A and B are shown apart, each in its own frame.
Chain A
Amino acid sequence: MYGILDCNSFYASCERVFKPHLIGKPIVVLSNNDGCVIARSDEAKSFVPMGAEAFNYEKVFRDHKIHVFSSNYSLYGDLSSRVMSILATFTPEIEIYSIDEAFFKLENVASSDIEAYILDIKRTIEKWVGIPVSIGVAPTKSLSKVANKIAKRYSSRTKGVYAILTEKQRINALKWTKVENVWGIGRRISNKLKIQQIYTAHEFTLLSDEYVRKNFSIVGLRLKQDLLGKPIIGFEQVKDKQNIATTRTFERALKLYEPINERIATFANACAEKLRKQESECTCLYVFLKTSKYSKTLRNVGLVVHLPYATNSSFTICKYAIKGLNQLYIKGYNYKKAGVIVMNLKPVSKHQFSIFEDENPKHQVLMKILDAFNLKYGKPKIKIANQDLNKTWKMKQEHLSPRYTTVLNEIIEVKCE
């Protein structure tokens, strides 16, 4: 059996762990730089759309007593790893799907005990960490997603957990599921299906294999089999990322070259660090520069820079990112956003030596020292010369909650009065 565990309104729930009086109150969490709404508690959903720009909604926040938080990824990351580690003690195998979702396998649990077992997982996580979760279990991965939706949608009846165990339950669940809500079916495919009068997941599973394969490729066919209850979609092997991006919206618009140069160098360095962490290297990168969409004169440009050889050296990636920037930057615009994306990633172990030129082997040694040093001191102590040494670039985080679990002088205070 496969299961999926999903944390309910995860970011909002993390804030509530340390502010339990906000349970039942509307909460929104803002993106980096307090730009727009990236998470909402159920209570806030009717007032604020996802992605709403915070500055347009200040009155709405006030009028409806919505509690606003800047995103606190130190906190969310730590609570996520606690949830995942508890889940791992209950099951032989888990696949962490995102910060708040994980697939898992259930073995050696009798069908009749499954509901009690997953309820125990849920209650343990809620008691130990304080994060409410929903769990769905079914014979296949895609069906477990459907079960999870049912668990959430009818939480008062299901207590937040649901298992598809019988054929009758499977068919009912698929009849209840709209085709566009099936895991893996995007808007394009669901629109195509609706033209063919296919509205539910159940109707999709009744299509012939040939038809599905012809119209939706082997991927569609695999999904159909999975929804029929034959486990086809297995656990993903831990896959390294194919692209790594570091992009930011600036707190204030930037006009001059120097501060933008500094930003690009920092982003390039952050990408290189992430590359080294997953032991990959890249052969090309993408640099982009944007003005605000409200700006009078718009400039929205980007370009791909090919590197002469595969590398993850901060120096090299930085150098080429700046070369890219130099082609993109034109004086006179108010730039509001920029980013560096490294692409075409390959594992370092499969390094292709270039006939003409290769990375200076000294970089590799130096990068190791740099990473070890920065790891030891928590915050970057060694930077590349292009990077700013002052903290002029603090993110705008006006509603940031303390990092309760990762920084000792930010832990909760308890009154003894």
Chain B
Amino acid sequence: MRVKKFESKVLTIYMPEQSELISRPIVSENIPAGFPSPAEDFKEVRISLDKELVKNEAATFYARARGNSMVDAHIEDGDLLVIDRSIEARNDKIAICMIDGEFTVKRLKVESDCIYLLAENKNYKPIKVTEENELIVWGIVTYVIKKV
């Protein structure tokens, strides 16, 4: 909006000038001359990795993997992990767990009386978690993002 000036001998009055409020076209393909784009009807939203990898935005967190114990599950040092906390911890899921004050990533193996945390690397032994241990399953890994 611009300011318009009215002057008389006694007063100078400023008034908002309304003429700038031109209505704008709302429909984008409404081109007055020329052939409409044949692609207009097929316009789609561009691929979004965010939408693909994040199913539940409020429950999704990210973590960086450090170490080689999960290489057979294709999780290597430096990879970016997508974690969904809304997914239930079940047998065979790869989970972010908290043991001894540290985050670790392992595959869950749920038995009737205990849980095993399995590494995916034959050089690492499974960790047996019984009732005496304190285990927090923090979230479930849903995707691994790596730079090639």
Residues in A lying within 8 Å of B, measured CB to CB: 19-21, 82-83, 85-86, 124, 127-130, 353-356, 358, 361, 404-405, 408, 411-417
Q: Pick the residue among B13, B63, B80 that contacts A355 (CB under 8 A).
A: B13
Contacts of A417 in B (CB 8 A): 66-69, 104, 124
**B138 interface hit (Cβ, 8 Å):** yes
- Contact between A412 and B63, CB atoms less than 8 A apart: yes
Q: Pick the residue among B57, B59, B103 that contacts A414 (CB under 8 A).
A: B103
For A411, give the chain B residue with the smallest CB separation.
B62
- Contact between A361 and B103, CB atoms less than 8 A apart: no
List of 5 A-B pairs having minimum Cβ-Cβ separation, nearest first: A416-B67, A128-B59, A21-B101, A416-B69, A417-B67
Q: Pick the residue among B58, B69, B96, B124 that contacts A85 (CB under 8 A).
A: B58
- Contact between B14 and A353, CB atoms less than 8 A apart: yes
Contacts of A413 in B (CB 8 A): 63-66, 103
DSSP majority for the B interface?
strand
Q: Pick the residue among B57, B59, B103 that contacts A415 (CB under 8 A).
A: B103
- Contact between A128 and B69, CB atoms less than 8 A apart: no
**B34 interface hit (Cβ, 8 Å):** no
Give the residue among A127, A404, A405, A412 with the most B Cβ atoms within 10 A.
A412
Report how many residues on chain B are interfacial, defined by Cβ distance under 8 Å.
41
Q: Mark B35-76, 1 if CB is under 8 A from A, else 0.
A: 000000000000000000000111101111111111100010
- Contact between B62 and A127, CB atoms less than 8 A apart: no
- Contact between A129 and B102, CB atoms less than 8 A apart: no
Q: How far is the CA of A127 from the CA of B105 in the complex (A)?
A: 18
**B16 interface hit (Cβ, 8 Å):** yes
- Contact between B136 and A20, CB atoms less than 8 A apart: yes
Residues in B lying within 8 Å of A, measured CB to CB: 1-3, 11-16, 56-59, 61-71, 75, 77, 80-81, 85-86, 96, 98, 101-105, 119, 124, 136, 138
For A354, give the chain B residue with the smallest CB separation.
B14
Q: A128-B56, A417-B67 are in contact. List 18 more A-B contacts (CB 8 A).
A: A20-B136, A20-B138, A82-B58, A85-B58, A127-B59, A127-B86, A129-B58, A353-B15, A355-B13, A355-B14, A412-B62, A412-B103, A414-B81, A414-B103, A414-B104, A415-B69, A416-B105, A417-B66
9 contacts between A and B (CB under 8 A): A128-B85, A353-B14, A353-B16, A354-B14, A355-B12, A358-B14, A361-B1, A413-B103, A414-B66
Contacts of A412 in B (CB 8 A): 61-64, 103
Q: How far is the CA of A353 from the CA of B69 in the complex (A)?
A: 69
Q: Pick the residue among A130, A358, A408 that contacts B3 (CB under 8 A).
A: A358
Contacts of B14 in A (CB 8 A): 353-355, 358
Contacts of B98 in A (CB 8 A): 20-21
For B134, give the chain A residue with the smallest CB separation.
A21
* Min C-beta distance of B77 to chain A, whole Å: 7
- Contact between B67 and A415, CB atoms less than 8 A apart: yes
* Min C-beta distance of B144 to chain A, whole Å: 11
Contacts of B85 in A (CB 8 A): 127-130
Q: How far is the CA of A84 from the CA of B12 in the complex (A)?
A: 52
- Contact between A86 and B81, CB atoms less than 8 A apart: no
Q: How far is the CA of A85 from the CA of B56 in the complex (A)?
A: 11
* Min C-beta distance of A82 to chain B, whole Å: 4
For A79, give the chain B residue with the smallest CB separation.
B58
* Min C-beta distance of A171 to chain B, whole Å: 38
Q: How far is the CA of A411 from the CA of B66 in the complex (A)?
A: 12
Q: Pick the residue among A358, A408, A416 that contacts B77 (CB under 8 A).
A: A416
- Contact between A128 and B15, CB atoms less than 8 A apart: no
Give the residue among A128, A129, A130, A356 with the most B Cβ atoms within 10 A.
A128
Contacts of A21 in B (CB 8 A): 98, 101
Contacts of A411 in B (CB 8 A): 61-64, 80
Contacts of B105 in A (CB 8 A): 414-416
